[in-house]
């Protein structure tokens, strides 16, 4: 039997649930969560991706900060911005948009590891990846976590099954 899993429909449902959770936090006097994105360069696909993240944040009630850095900066500039965001208590999550410009790509891992594990929304930091081996999926990478959430939503047990995943990106 073929089952079509509607990720877009589930994403909309989850956005509504998150919106409600953020509203509840605000009603209790908490500050809204804040996501900071770092975009280095002017890759059109990355710009769209980051813009969509900020649009979703606004809808849900999450504050967002977009940091655009010219493509010809040194790795030190990017490191300093990450350090500033790590130290900022009002920033709860950091997303370094990948891919980086070609000359910075050799520093990608180093820059990802520089993001505090507690603020690593992509789940790429080595500590967060290591937590997966302990079945702690709180800060897991987005795509696999999204797939698992989708399978759980449809009550699909994948143990021992062949699976095909079709994704645009």
The per-residue pLDDT string of the chain (169 residues; one tens digit each, 9 = 90 and over) reads 788 889 899 999 999 999 999 999 999 999 999 999 999 999 999 999 999 999 999 999 999 999 999 989 999 999 999 999 999 999 999 999 999 999 999 999 999 999 998 898 887 776 766 666 665 566 556 677 788 888 888 998 888 888 776 766 5
Catalytic residues: 53, 97, 122
Contacts of 51 (CB under 8 A, 6+ apart): none
The number of helix segments (H) and strand segments (E) in the chain equals: 6, 3
In angstroms, the CA 20 to CA 7 distance is 20
Tens digit of pLDDT for each residue in 44-72?
A: 999 999 999 999 999 999 999 999 999 89
Strand order in the sheet with 93-96: 63-69, 34-40, 93-96
Triad 48, 98, 96: Cα angle to 5°? 90
| Burial of 4 from C-beta contacts in 10 A (0-12 / 13-18 / 19+) | exposed
Contact 85, 69 (CB under 8 A): no
Contact 40, 78 (CB under 8 A): yes
Would strands 34-40 and 93-96 be described as parallel, antiparallel, or unpaired?
parallel
């Amino acid at each position: 039997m073929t089952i079509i899993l509607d990720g877009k429909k589930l994403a909309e449902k989850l956005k509504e649930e998150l919106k409600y959770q953020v509203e509840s936090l605000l009603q209790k006097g908490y500050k809204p969560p804040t996501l900071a994105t770092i975009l280095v360069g002017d890759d059109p696909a990355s710009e769209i991706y980051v813009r969509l993240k900020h649009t979703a944040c606004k809808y849900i009630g999450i504050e967002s900060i977009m940091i655009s850095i010219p493509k010809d900066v040194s790795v030190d500039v990017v490191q300093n911005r990450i350090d500033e965001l790590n130290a900022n208590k009002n920033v709860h999550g950091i997303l370094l948009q990948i891919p980086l410009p070609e000359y910075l790509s050799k520093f990608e891992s180093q820059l990802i590891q520089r993001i505090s594990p507690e603020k690593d929304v992509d789940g790429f930091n080595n500590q967060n990846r290591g937590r997966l081996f302990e079945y702690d999926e709180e800060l897991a990478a987005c795509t696999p976590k999204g797939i698992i959430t989708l399978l759980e939503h449809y009550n699909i047990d994948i143990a021992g099954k062949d699976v095909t995943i079709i994704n645009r990106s």
